[in-house]
Amino acid sequence: SDANRMTLVHWGVPSDRVHVVPNGYDPSLFFPTDAGPVRKRLGLGGDFRFILYVGNLVRLKQVDRLIASFSKLRERKISLQLVIAGSGPEDRRLRRLVRELGLVDSVRLLGETPHAEVARWMQASDLLCLPSRMEGLPTVVLESLACGRPVVASAVGGIPSMLTEETGLLVPPEGIDPLANAIDRALASDWNVGRIAASSSRFARPR
């Protein structure tokens, strides 16, 4: 990301020695489609909204912050679900947190998930949330946008350059209430799927 480039230049690397090669996504996997049929294929029933996290389960991703924020949201809206796709050293601690907060029926940890299956979960979701403390140019944000799904993410690294008011919401990289409020706002907003998907088209990398 350009944010990474600026950091290297700040550390003393000559600017003409640093070139940004952005991440990309596979448009044959990640594209807009109606969530209803995809949810049926995934075996999801019921009339609910669901938030998706995709990524490694490590501390700097702050998935515990997302779970705590989701717990606050559940106090306001019972018809919410959180799906977490990914694996890592935080898995056991996060599962324990889900139990402690009484969220076993509304939080689903998928574990390690094949890339093609990640695409289906994104298409079935209402939004992607990435509450990280640190990022570069996260591919999962590009993939979610390519599916026409808005993103709520921390304003770190290259993320602010990826999102606009038409594609998502930025939040500080700390705090439970700001994240919960942003997710609430995003779920209540009327997003334009086509505009969201078009915003990421320059990052498409066809096979």
Give the relative orientation of helices 63-76 and 176-188 as an angle to the nearest 10 degrees: 60
Q: What is the CA radius of gyration of the chain?
A: 17
pLDDT confidence of residue 43 = 87
Looking at the whole model, is its pTM more than 0.75? yes
pLDDT confidence of residue 204 = 87
Residue 9 vs residues 21, 51, 155, 159: alpha-carbon distances, Å? 16, 37, 20, 19
pLDDT confidence of residue 20 = 82
For 82-127, the pLDDT digits (tens) are: 999 999 999 999 999 999 999 999 999 999 999 999 999 999 999 9
DSSP string, 111-155: ES--HHHHHHHHHH-SEEEE--S--SS-HHHHHHHHTT--EEEES
One-letter amino acid of 117:
E
Of the pLDDT bands very low, low, confident and very high (cuts 50, 70, 90), residue 203 is confident
Q: Note the residue count of the chain.
A: 207
pLDDT confidence of residue 47 = 81
CB 152: neighbour CB atoms within 10 A?
26
Query: Are 186 and 169 in contact, with CB atoms under 8 Å apart?
Result: yes
Q: Check pLDDT > 80 for residue 46.
A: no
User: Among 130, 10, 165, which residue's Cα sits nearest to residue 58?
Assistant: 130
